[in-house]
Amino acid sequence: MNDTEKQKFLRALTALKLGPQIDGNQYSYDDFVSIHLQYKTKVHGTPLFLPWHRALLSIFEQHLQRIDPDVFVPYWDWGSESQTPELSSIFYSSAFGGHGPACIPDGIAQGWVRKFPDNDPNLAGSCLCRLWTNGKIGPLMSNDQLQSQVIPAYNDFASFAPHLEIIHGAVHVLVGGGPAGDLWQMYSPNDPIFYLHHSNVDRIWELWQSQSSQHLTDFSEDKSQILEPFSIVLSDVLDNAQNCIQYGPTGAPSPGQQIQPPSPSGSSVVSLAVRRARPPGSGDSNNPVRRRLLGSPLVDCDLDKRDSSMQPYGFLAPLPPSWADMNNISLQKVREVELLHETWIRQRNNRIGHHYHRCRARS
Ligand SMILES: [Cu+2]
């Protein structure tokens, strides 16, 4: 995602959150939070998790596109900077800002106020929160683990989808930082990083789907059901290509873009990748647009090899039981999945032995 694309995206987000209602837009920014709360038990810990969030993402994107038709929701490729996600340029003050003990201290969501949940006076009307432990988020799951352990491991949606939902949970929990963080909670769409995270989750589902035509159309329940409240038939979201949604490559700058040295307050953007969705009623359906990438830690080693270089990976923090409970996910299942991850990381770290070197941040 280049700087112009990033600025347009941030402007459209701000306009949806703070500006007047745009003609044709059914929902406000806060309505999406309300919808997510309203449907929480139907779409978490159930097979609807992936398709429903895909629909939500598209409807949200269409709302941004009525503000600026060039805009699409980028994805945050957290798997490419899994070991030090807190250094990602998505947390720069020129993008989504960092964390703090009270309100999100900088970036686009600085000063944003929660409208929902509206039944809790401590929450409604106060500022958004992200609070990391000791200033650190990670580790998260790396892309090479996703590619080698998770994506090829399941032949059917019914077994793949719960695994991905658990992985996605770690990002909510760790980037939110604790129950005080919006991302931790069912009102997570308050924090705009929600959309970048879910865009990446959707991309990972698409990577799984792309393994075969059977994967592409697989779903474990009735495909003719309607994804409420969006009036979208579930089978209509299974193939992103059919909806002109395409995820751009990760780990590489978009064409014509130079990799810039790090500048925490500056405009360098490498790891916010782009998902391009064709604005409603525009363009030609044979020419999909692509969602791209936002934000990178910009370290002194090759970008593509940043996470897959020979440094040992850290173990993922276990998901809190309260989060699993809130999401209707069995804790036993969570622990099973975590054990698989731990085993994979241990084997990998043993395999690379003492040959590792660390990517050093530029001073
Ligand atoms: Cu959700």
Could you give the C-alpha distances from 256 to 1, 115, 162, 275, in angstroms and in order? 10, 40, 38, 17
Give the distance (Å) from ligand 1 centre to CA of residue 347.
Answer: 32
Residue 362 domain flag: no
- Of residues 352 and 133, more confidently modeled: 133
Give the distance (Å) from ligand 1 centre to CA of residue 357.
Answer: 37
Residue 355 domain flag: no
Give the distance (Å) from ligand 1 centre to CA of residue 186.
Answer: 7
* φ, ψ for residue 222, nearest 5 deg: -65, 120
Residue 357 domain flag: no
Give the distance (Å) from ligand 1 centre to CA of residue 290.
Answer: 23
pLDDT at residue 142 greater than cutoff 70: yes
Residue 302 domain flag: yes
Give the distance (Å) from ligand 1 centre to CA of residue 171.
Answer: 12
Enter the pTM of the model: 0.87
Give the distance (Å) from ligand 1 centre to CA of residue 4.
Answer: 29
Residue 193 domain flag: yes
pLDDT at residue 92, rounded to an integer: 95
CATH number, domain of 77, equals 1.10.1280.10
Q: What letter does residue 360 receive in the DSSP assignment?
A: P
Is residue 219 within 8 A of residue 47, CB to CB? The reply is yes
**Cα 186–Cα 280–Cα 36 angle in degrees, nearest 5:** 10
pLDDT digits (tens, 9 = 90+) for 151-206: 999 999 999 999 999 999 999 999 999 999 999 999 999 999 999 999 999 999 99
Task: Over range 339-350, report the average pLDDT.
Answer: 94
Residue 181 domain flag: yes
Domain that holds residue 161: 3-350
Q: Please tell me the total count of domains within the chain.
A: 1
Could you give the C-alpha distances from 161 to 23, 157, 199, 215, 263, in angstroms and in order? 36, 6, 15, 12, 37
Residue 333 domain flag: yes
Q: What letter does residue 205 receive in the DSSP assignment?
A: H
Residue 191 bridge partners (DSSP):
none
pLDDT digits (tens, 9 = 90+) for 295-343: 443 333 444 445 555 789 999 999 999 999 999 999 999 999 999 999 9
Give the distance (Å) from ligand 1 centre to CA of residue 53.
Answer: 7
